[in-house]
Amino acid sequence: MSSLSATLNLLRPSLAPPPPSLRFCDVRNSASSYCTSRRLALFHLGSALPQSQLLGAKASELLRGERNKLEAAPVANLAQAGTAITKENALEWVKNDKRRMLHVVYRVGDLDKTIKFYTECLGMKLLRRRDIPEEQYSNAFLGYGPEESNFVVELTYNYGVDKYNIGTGFGHFGIDVEDVSKSVELIKAKGGKVTREPGPAKGGSTIIASVEDPDGYTFELLERGPSPEPLCQVMLRVGDLDRAINFYKKAFGMELLRKRDYPEYKYTYALMGYGPEDKNPVLELTYNYGITDYDKGNGYAQIAIGTDDVYKSAEAIKLYGGKIVLEPGPLPGINTKITACLDPDGWKSVFVDNVDFMKELE
């Protein structure tokens, strides 16, 4: 990893070290620059996040200038032969691309405490954990099955930062369980916080309950029986649901699995995904009547999605209203190809080459 470390040093040659409380990559509504951390460079996607609000506008400009020198290389050029697509063939290509949701990334204030809660209360397994002292952070992957086939969570702990603002835009993570009441009893016995007791969902019959992890992230427990993907949902709030549905269908190739309106509760939601919701994780997009913008905080980060071609993925995203915040190409020092984007509401996603991702897991 010596070549990668050298590359990272090039990215911030003239920047004074930030104070200890700010030594982390921040996603607070910024798309101007991107933190190419070693965590992302290994494509374990832990700390690859914008830095403009972390280091300030002037520092961000310096960082971006150095980064652009690297991105000027032909390998990161969207105009590579054979990668260009148009609106006429983009929809077909996106639909046929082999995509799946890989993991969801967010920050926590105490990694050991959070791992304990997820394993003992939510029944997840600790799949991997690593500490990067030279970059002042640690991360851990947890889930209900191997990363090669299952959707998992990636927790990032930044040294010296014990609290994050979750904001009002992030909603919840969803977990399928066989018995919601028993799950809630276990969580209570372990000292977990239950914010909604078991009962039917509003306007439906599915038994649900809500609990909070040590950092205040909400997990919705859904009584559905055994599932190949117990970690089943990521819910985000959007300001224009039809716009969001159109974007995720065309740019991401997701299917609209379900859409329901609840005028009595003044909200509408849509489930988007890459297959039936009983077998695949879904993105739940929620529109609350009259609310068009949300505080995204600095806790929740992004979803990672596999693709066969990050160059074509980036072009499709641009064609359908997304904003590329990291141009597609191999990461400095290694061959993992990625691209990162913002949807029309400012939520970030990262696309990673499927073959490269599997090599990274070997």
**Residues assigned a catalytic role:** 220
At 235, list the tokens.
Answer: 């819910």
At 111, list the tokens.
Answer: 């990694």
